[in-house]
Amino acid sequence: MQNTNYAKYIAIMQKIADVQNASSLLNWDQETYMPPKGAAFRAQQLSTLAGIAHELATSTELGVLLTELSKDDSLAEKEKRNIKKSLKNYNDNKKYTTEFVQDLSKTISEAFQAWQKAKETNDFSLYAPKLEKLVELKRKECELLGYTGHPYDAMLDQYEPGAKTVDLEKLFADVRSQLVAFVKQIAAKPQNNDAFMFGFYDKDKQWDVGIDLLKQMGYDFDAGRQDISSHPFTTNFSCQDVRVTTRINQNDLNEMIWSCIHEGGHALYEQGLLPSEYGLPSGEYISLGIHESQSRLWENNVGRSLNYWKANFKTLQKAFPENLEKISVEDFYKAMNIVKPSLIRTSADELTYHFHVLIRFEIEKALIEGKIQVNELPAYWNSKYKEYLGIDVPSDKQGVLQDIHWSHGSFGYFPTYSLGSFYAAQFFAQAKKEIPNLENQLEQGNMLNLLSWLREKVHKHGKYYTAEELCVEITGEKLNFNYFMEYAKVKYKWLYQL
Q: Is residue 282 part of a domain?
A: yes
Q: Do residue 57 and residue 186 come from a single domain?
A: no
What pLDDT was estimated at residue 40? 85
Q: Do residue 140 and residue 29 come from a single domain?
A: yes
The model's pLDDT over 250-259, given as tens digits with 9 standing for 90+, comes to 999 999 999 9
Q: Do residue 129 and residue 184 come from a single domain?
A: no
Q: Do residue 126 and residue 185 come from a single domain?
A: no
**Measured in whole angstroms, how far is the alpha carbon of residue 347 from the centre of its chain?**
14
- The CATH number of whichever domain residue 438 belongs to comes to 1.10.1370.30
Task: Count the neighbouring beta carbons within 10 Å of the beta carbon of residue 407.
Answer: 25
Q: Do residue 51 and residue 123 come from a single domain?
A: yes
Q: Do residue 190 and residue 103 come from a single domain?
A: no
Q: Is residue 487 part of a domain?
A: yes
CA dihedral 49, 53, 56, 57 (to 10 degrees): -160
Q: Are 116 and 416 in contact (CB under 8 A)?
A: no
What pLDDT was estimated at residue 468? 92
What pLDDT was estimated at residue 230? 83
Q: What is the mean pLDDT of residues 24-34?
A: 93
- The CATH number of whichever domain residue 32 belongs to comes to 1.20.58
Q: Is residue 420 part of a domain?
A: yes
Q: Do residue 105 and residue 180 come from a single domain?
A: no
Question: Does the pTM of the predicted model rise above 0.85?
Answer: yes
The model's pLDDT over 210-226, given as tens digits with 9 standing for 90+, comes to 999 999 999 999 999 99
Q: Do residue 76 and residue 178 come from a single domain?
A: no
Any bridge partners for residue 242, and if so which? 236
Q: What is the mean pLDDT of residues 115-132?
A: 97
Question: If we measure between CA atoms, which residue out of 318, 311, 300 comes closest to residue 205?
Answer: 318
Q: Is residue 211 part of a domain?
A: no
Q: Do residue 317 and residue 461 come from a single domain?
A: yes
Q: Is residue 65 part of a domain?
A: yes
The model's pLDDT over 359-413, given as tens digits with 9 standing for 90+, comes to 999 999 999 999 999 999 999 999 999 988 989 999 999 999 999 999 999 999 9
Any bridge partners for residue 244, and if so which? 226, 234
Listed in order, strand segments (DSSP E) in 258-376 are: none
DSSP three-state, residue 93? helix
- Residue 34 is part of which domain span? 4-146
Q: Is residue 114 part of a domain?
A: yes
What pLDDT was estimated at residue 1? 64
Number of domains in the chain: 2
Contacts of 204 (CB under 8 A, 6+ apart): none
* Residue environment code for 312-332, b if the CB has 16+ CB neighbours within 10 A, otherwise e: bbebbbebbeebbeebebebb
Q: Which of 79, 263, 299, 364 is catalytic?
A: 263
If you average pLDDT over every residue of the chain, what do you get? 95
Q: Is residue 98 part of a domain?
A: yes
The model's pLDDT over 449-485, given as tens digits with 9 standing for 90+, comes to 999 999 999 999 999 999 999 999 999 999 999 999 9
The model's pLDDT over 128-175, given as tens digits with 9 standing for 90+, comes to 999 999 999 999 999 999 999 999 999 999 999 989 999 999 999 999
The model's pLDDT over 175-197, given as tens digits with 9 standing for 90+, comes to 988 998 899 899 999 999 999 99
Which domain-ending residue is among 146, 175, 191? 146
The model's pLDDT over 311-368, given as tens digits with 9 standing for 90+, comes to 999 999 999 999 999 999 999 999 999 999 999 998 899 999 999 999 999 999 999 9
What pLDDT was estimated at residue 123? 97
> Is 369 an annotated catalytic residue?
no
